[in-house]
Structure formats: structure tokens, C-alpha cells
Structure 1
Amino acid sequence: MMHRGRHRRRRRGAALRAVLTGTALALTAAATLISASQAEVADSPGALAPLTSPADTGRLRLQEHLVPARTLDRLAAGMGRPVGVDAVLRSADRELREAGDCSSADRASLPVAPKAARAYCWDPADTAAGAWRPASVTTSGDADDDGVWGRHRVVLAGWAHGTAGGRPAERGLARIAFVDADDPARLAYRWVLLVVPVQGGRDYRGLASGISGMVWYGNRLLVTTTAGSADALYVYDLDRIQRTTVDGPAIGRVPGGWSAGGLGYVLPAVGSYRFAAGRCAASGPPCPGALALDRGTAPDSLVAAEWTAPGRDRHTRLWRYAFSTDPARAGLLAADSAGRVEAVETYRTRAAGIRGVLSYRKAGADHASWYLGRLPGSRDGHGGMWRQDAEGARADRCGADASRRCWARDAGSLSYWRATGEVWSLSDRMLFAVPLAGLDRSVD
């Protein structure tokens, strides 16, 4: 098993050759912009409103549930010794194509402004058919503050399967593309299925979740669950990836070994966080729709945005939880002796349809700015990007008609790679990065 000490080695020389800070690509986002009357994503959400009453903050309390070590050990005994990220990257069997080799339809899904500095389309085998869709992204820039995991620069992209189309065994599942990003001109990836141990580790089931948010911190991966789930977040250990032994459509233990719907690896959950007040709902705890890491707080924190449907006249909550500083709990949230996790900061915004969230505090600033990537009210076409704080909000605008539909089409979550100054995200067809400085300029 890999150890945390190895992950934090500073291999600056090797990392710098792969620094992904290329010149912005000349990308065509759309032949024409939508008319001004249709381009408004929403009226300004205004300033963030702090929430401090126990009635508001108490609904955000989580209860930690960790999978017993004996369950994980039994699963490993049955499947074989777990492997780490390196093993998955070495077996990468698909490639991402650079934007110049992608179709015009692919490129049209990219942000209009700011322009992507780097963009890639997926292997056609993963996009041509079926109901699998990209939803979330996190990177080794989240995992470790030097941006490198072991010897590699890595991007993780979460995909979810819809309930219509595809094989019955796939429906509602979640998988992760482990992307080797060492060479910015040749990104390769391998699929890993997210699963949950059952029967005390004698079997596993697929995680049925939209994974609209995802954060890699230390050796842990935290993902959102589907709205209405009893669990708010699932937790995975990236040192516990397991190989499958049967290439078949089933998921779980089968005659002759272990299967994952044709994928070669599974990642078993090691824990979850549930809202103490019950399942998420409009009148209760908020359903988390987007996640991100903020390394500008002390300690580092997990930020979340509530999912509310675009175009709804309903306020949305933004909040954060602190990560634990206990080395024995690396990558887990800060919890008391009873496993309770409290939100350390909470706001309300008038924004709706939030698919991506970031919290970032500039040097010398009194407070953090929150970046909100939002779906349009019609849920069709390009979305908008807002920067919001306690003083007000500003929108990204583009084109002669000052459209607010400047962000990517059906955009997913946001991940800030501090070592390169870039924000990674994905559209419904492409993986891309934009400089944070460019994002700031677009909303100034």
C-alpha cells in the first residue's frame, strides 16, 4: 500500500515539464450568440447572506459512518491485494484528444469566455452511445499542495449513468476516469467503478449516485450522492483500488471471481456522511450538488453548494466543513468524539442551478470570493459564471449583446489547481482548464 510520505515528495523538476499553462487555444464556441433576451441566466443573485442561527446551521450537521476495517480486509482477501493510483495509470487504455482534433460540436460546448487554455474530448467509445455523462472533476492539485500524486499529475473525472438506456446493470451507477496528465499533449485514462461493500465485505454493489461533486484530498475521495439519499457524501480510499477478475456485465461477486460491468477496477467506499436531521429535502438538510476544496482556510476546508433547479425562485445554501488535522484521520472531515461534523461557515444566495462552486481568497483580501457555475434557466445551452461575496455579485459577460451565457454547456464541478493557477471543469463533451486570472478578468 502506498504511504502519505511518498505522495508528498517534491519532484519539481519532473512536474514542471508537464505544467499545464499553455497559451489559450483558438476555440470556436458557437457560430452566433443567443439573443440578449434569451441570454440572461438569471437576475443578479446579489450579496451572500450569512446564516448563523442554530435552525439554519443545525440542518448541516453530518454524522460520520466508517466502514469497519474487517469488512474492507475481507473484501481485499477475496479480491487480492489493493493497488494505488499508479497501477491504474499504468494500465490506461483510452486517450483524450486535444481540442484541435475534436469535432466542432465538441468545441461548441466550451466556455465562450474566458477561453479555455487547454481542452480535450473523450474517446468516442465513451461518448458515442449510452447514457453515461461527465459530471465532476478533481485533480492531484487538490490531493496534495505540490500538485503531484506520487510521480504523476492526475485528473479524476466523475461520470454518472442515467436511468434510461444502456444495460440494466449500468443504470444509475458512477465511474471515475483516472487521467494521466503528465504529458499535456497526450492524456490517457482508465475507468474505475465506484462501489459499496455489502455483506460484511463478501460482496459489493455499485454506487447509485449522480456524483455531481467530487474532491480528492490526501488519499481520500469524497463524492456527492443522489438527491434524496440517506447519505450526503461517500468516502473512498485511493490506496484501496481493487482489480476485477471477470469481464462481464454483472457487478459484484460472480462465479469465477469479481465483475464490474466490464471495467477492470473497482473502488470500494470506506465511509459516508449522513445528515443528522435526515434525508436532504427542500424543507430540511440541503442536497449537496457541487463540492470543491479550499486550501485558503485554516484548516483546509470542503465547500459545498446546494442543488436547486435552475429558474426556481428559491434561495440556495453555500457552506463549508473543516478537514481533520489529525494524521490518523487524513482526508476525513473534522468530527467530534461522537462522529459529528459541524458546518463552519454558511451562506444563502439567490442563485439557483449551481453546478460548480469554488471559494478562493486572494492575497490581502478580507474575505473569500465564491465562484458559481450555473445552468441556464431553460437548462439548455451555455450556462453562466458569477463571482459572489458579502458585498455583491458580478457576472461573466460576452459578445456584442453582453450575454451572461458565457460558461460551458451543461458544465460540471470546478477544481482549482493552485500550482498552475488553473480552474478545471468539464462540459457535456469536453474536459478543459481556464486560468483563474482569466476567470477573474471575465467577471470584473
Structure 2
Amino acid sequence: MKHRGRHRRRKQGRAVRAFLAGTALALTAAATMISASQATVGDNPGALTPLTRAADTGALRLQEQLVPQATLDELSAGMGRPVGVGAVLETADRSLRPASGCTAGERTALPVAPAATRAYCWDTADTRAWQPGAVTTSGDADDDGWWNDHRVILSGWSRQGADRDLARVAFVDANDLAHLRYASALLVVPVDGGRDYRALTSRLTGMVWYQDKLLVTAGDGLYVYDMNRVQRTTVLRTDVGRVAGGWSAHGYRFVLPAVGSYRMTGGSEAPRLGGISLDRSTAPDSLVASESTPSDSDRPARLWRYDFSKDPARPGLLATDATGSASAVEAYETEASGIAGVLSHRADGSDRADWYVGRSPGSTDRHGSLWRQDGDGAEATRCGDENAPRCWGTRVGPLSYWEATGEVWSQSGRMLFALPLESIDRALG
């Protein structure tokens, strides 16, 4: 049983029926906000080029380092017994507004084509000075889409400030898609043998919740969090860490302490991580990643994947060798630049996966673009009189596929949205 008995499985059919209930949103207003003159047609990234040389794939190697159990035990001894996802959701006191309650300016961040079928906007006061950068769901955590009695969306945010850099995760209760509520936990890293913790200062560009682990991008690698080790804070102050009278996390009631990390070992040849996502269409399930490059860069970027471990004693961790090294099992080079979201999926009966990449707007563009690439070429969703490819969000974000419902979740600016993968494929032709 997955999650060492802590996660009660639900039937996939129930998740599909409940999640897809309701009428799709008519979110086409954004199409009137973009003109064909703002879109370009000459940025086709072409076919993927396989990377097979040892020197190329070696640059993608990750080294695993797990936090000692004694450190985690020390932290729990000081803060109290860890709690789980349900404890955070019980305190969800903030709401996302449905698209009908969002401003016209907020809705212009949505894709033009294909249109979102679900869309929500975040509380402005709660997100001011914070940058969105990652989305994952309980559809990643388990293939039935449930985490105990909850369907959950996780949204990662970063804040780079003069006083302190911070990263947090919003836990969204998605049991009722008409009324999304959430509460947030600060991401932290244990220090001093678990007698204290510091804030995670990396900007979040990707996040995957797989089994009981949450993998979060950290520029030159990944941090790992255990979803069963959420800790309650005791002091609501702006400090982060142990303070007089207890534990503080910049005013948040919960923290997620890191339980491990993966660091790139390829030196100057190693890529800077951009987006990540889960691919359940491989055996074993795999983590896919994209390289972060500027949106107007003329340098090729890399796309690659790692296998997840099949060892029941290592739930949610990557497959590693005897030295703790995780190697890329597949890698490609693409001419696409400014990749902010990546998704890989093999359709039933297909012998190879399609790679979907969301590209940020160029310096002269309003909207980004969404491309599907393979070894033969690339296709984009298109719109406008010139059938141009700049039709995706204005603030291109992550791509997360919820297998049980067939939907892709993403975020553009303060808009959280979803649409069926098949509607993307239809728009791609």
C-alpha cells in the first residue's frame, strides 16, 4: 500500500466524476485583449535532439543528501509531534475567487487558446510582493487523485525582499471546486542539528508532490519535504526560526522542514533548473525537468527525466545508485527558450512521449506560447487572424497533469487555472 498505510485509496471513478462535475467556464474574454501583431511566427523550436553522450548526460546528475533522522527527531522534540496535510486544510481561512469575480485585468493573464475551463484568482492582499512559481496536486501524489479524504492543489510562491527571501506553499482544499479555500506553510531547512531552522531562500520554479514527498526546485537542484512532517509554529512573529517563547515562521502557523536535497554535480555544464513535473506514463513513474534560459535566448535548452525509486523503503525519492547519485534516464536538447513549464506524457498505444513546453513571452510579446515537441518536430497552439503561436498565458507558469481527471493545472500571474489535456492536443492539431 502506498504511503506506508497512511493514505486511504479511493476509486478512480469517484475522483473523475466529482472533479469534472459542473459547467465549464466561458473564459474567452482574454482573446479580445491580444492582437495578431503582438504574436510572432518565427520561433518554432523544431524537433528534439536526443542527448546520448556521457558528457552530456553526466552534467544532469544529481547527488542525494538526506537530513539525518536524529535532526528531524530533535526538531520534533522542540516543536511537537508533526502533523499532516489535513491539519493545514482545517485552518484554511482564505478563499480564491472564481473567474467571474476576478478583474478584467487579472483575467487577461489567462491563455487565449485553448481557453481555461476552470479559473480562479488569488487574494491580492495575500499575494502582494509574492511571485507564483509552482503548482502540483494530489493527482500527482496518488493516481486516484485523493490524499486521505481530500483533493488538494499546492501552489508555491517566492518573495525576494530587502530583509529576507522566503518561499511558501499554499494548501488549497479542492473538494469543492466552486469554493476553493487555502492556508499556507513556510518552507524551511533544519539547522544546528534540528535545534533551529532557516527559511528556504530559493525562488520556486517547479514543484512535484509524489507519494508522501514534495520536491521543490532550488536553482542548482531540489529540496525534498515530507508531507507527513508538517510542523506547527507557536509564535506569530515576522522572525523565522526559534525565538523567545517558541517557534516563528513569518506569521505562518505551519512550516514544512526539508528532509533532504538533490544537488547538481555537473559543475559549469550543469543546467539551472526551471520547471518540473510528474510523468505517470513511464515505468517507473518519472520526474521531468527543463532548463531555465532567458525568453529571448538563442542558446538551446535541455529537457530530461529521472526515474522515481521503486524501493518501498524510499517512497517519493528518486532512483539512485550505491553512491546516492540520480542519473538522467532520458535527455534532449531543444531550441525553445524561456521554458517556464514542462510536461511529458505518452498517449495510450504510443511508443514515445510528447513533451509540452510553456514558453514565456519575448520582449516584444504580450502572451507566451505552448508547444508540443518530439523527435519529428514541434506544434503550437495558435490564435488570431495570423494563426500565430503566442496564445498561452502572459505569465507562463508550471504544467501539472491530473491523470484521474485528464486536466492540466497551471498558473499565470494571480490566476490559477485548468483545462483538459485533450483540448490542448486538439488546439495543437
Q: Match of 2:214?
A: 221
Partner Cα separation in structure 1 for residue 172 and residue 362 of structure 2? 32
Most deviating of 26-35 and 400-409: 26-35
Q: Match of 1:31?
A: 32
Partner Cα separation in structure 2 for residue 350 and residue 14 of structure 1? 41
Report the aligned-residue RMSD: 1.6
Task: Specify whether residues 235 and 398 from structure 1 end up closer, same or farther in structure 2 by C-alpha distance, changes over 3 A only.
Answer: same
Aligned partner of 2:146 among 145, 148, 163: 148
Q: Match of 1:239?
A: 228
Deviation at 1:380, TM superposition (A): 5.7
Matches within 5 A, 1:156-305: 156-163=154-161, 168=163, 171-226=164-219, 229=220, 232-278=221-267, 283-305=268-290
Matched residues, number: 427
Post-superposition CA distance 1:403-444 (Å, at most 9, x none): 311111112111000000000000111100011010111111
Partner Cα separation in structure 1 for residue 42 and residue 273 of structure 2? 21
Task: Indicate yes or no: 2:403 matched with 1:418.
Answer: yes
Task: Indicate yes or no: 2:337 matched with 1:352.
Answer: yes
What is the identity, as a one-letter code, of the residue corresponding to 2:140?
A: D
Runs (4 or more) in structure 1 with deviation over 2 Å come to: 2-6, 11-18, 20-24
Most deviating of 410-419 and 25-34: 25-34
Post-superposition CA distance 1:95-116 (Å, at most 9, x none): 1111111111111111101111
Task: Indicate yes or no: 2:94 matched with 1:94.
Answer: yes
When the two structures are superposed, what TM-score results if normalisation uses the length of structure 2? 0.96
Q: Match of 2:428?
A: 443
Task: Indicate yes or no: 2:313 matched with 1:328.
Answer: yes
Partner Cα separation in structure 1 for residue 125 and residue 17 of structure 2? 30
Aligned partner of 1:339 among 300, 308, 324: 324
Contact 1:294 1:358 survives alignment (8 Å): yes
Matches within 5 A, 1:36-51: 36=37, 38-40=38-40, 43-51=43-51
Structure 1 unaligned segments of length 5 or more: list them.
Answer: none
Partner Cα separation in structure 1 for residue 19 and residue 169 of structure 2? 23
Partner Cα separation in structure 1 for residue 126 and residue 41 of structure 2? 30
State the SS of the aligned residue for 2:46: coil
Most deviating of 141-150 and 25-34: 25-34
What is the identity, as a one-letter code, of the residue corresponding to 1:390?
A: G
Matches within 5 A, 1:397-408: 397-408=382-393
State the SS of the aligned residue for 2:33: coil
What is the identity, as a one-letter code, of the residue corresponding to 2:197?
A: Y
Task: Indicate yes or no: 2:116 matched with 1:116.
Answer: yes
Deviation at 1:157, TM superposition (A): 0.3
Post-superposition CA distance 1:192-238 (Å, at most 9, x none): 00000000000000001111010000000001113xx4xx1100000
Partner Cα separation in structure 2 for residue 16 and residue 114 of structure 1? 21
State the SS of the aligned residue for 1:18: helix
Contact 2:358 2:368 survives alignment (8 Å): yes
Partner Cα separation in structure 1 for residue 47 and residue 11 of structure 2? 42
What is the identity, as a one-letter code, of the residue corresponding to 1:33?
A: I
Partner Cα separation in structure 1 for residue 189 and residue 43 of structure 2? 41
Partner Cα separation in structure 2 for residue 135 and residue 74 of structure 1? 31
Deviation at 1:11, TM superposition (A): 5.0
Deviation at 1:12, TM superposition (A): 5.5
Deviation at 1:275, TM superposition (A): 1.5
Deviation at 1:350, TM superposition (A): 0.3
Post-superposition CA distance 1:371-397 (Å, at most 9, x none): 000001118631100000011000110
Partner Cα separation in structure 2 for residue 163 and residue 54 of structure 1? 40
Post-superposition CA distance 1:144-178 (Å, at most 9, x none): 010100111000000111346xxx2xx32110000
Post-superposition CA distance 1:237-279 (Å, at most 9, x none): 000000000011100000000000001100000000112233x
Task: Specify whether residues 32 and 187 from structure 1 end up closer, same or farther in structure 2 by C-alpha distance, changes over 3 A only.
Answer: closer
Deviation at 1:42, TM superposition (A): 5.3
Partner Cα separation in structure 2 for residue 3 and residue 54 of structure 1? 35
Deviation at 1:93, TM superposition (A): 1.1
State the SS of the aligned residue for 1:7: coil
Structure 2 unaligned segments of length 5 or more: list them.
Answer: none
Give % identity.
63
Post-superposition CA distance 1:51-98 (Å, at most 9, x none): 000110111111100000000000000000000001101110101111
Task: Specify whether residues 73 and 433 from structure 1 end up closer, same or farther in structure 2 by C-alpha distance, changes over 3 A only.
Answer: same
Partner Cα separation in structure 1 for residue 87 and residue 385 of structure 2? 49
Q: Match of 2:372?
A: 387
Deviation at 1:5, TM superposition (A): 2.3
What is the identity, as a one-letter code, of the residue corresponding to 2:10?
A: R
Contact 1:21 1:420 survives alignment (8 Å): no
Q: Match of 2:77?
A: 77
Partner Cα separation in structure 1 for residue 122 and residue 114 of structure 2? 22
Partner Cα separation in structure 1 for residue 308 and residue 271 of structure 2? 20
Aligned partner of 1:363 among 340, 348, 357: 348
Partner Cα separation in structure 2 for residue 244 and residue 301 of structure 1? 34
Contact 2:12 2:145 survives alignment (8 Å): no
Task: Indicate yes or no: 2:2 matched with 1:9.
Answer: no
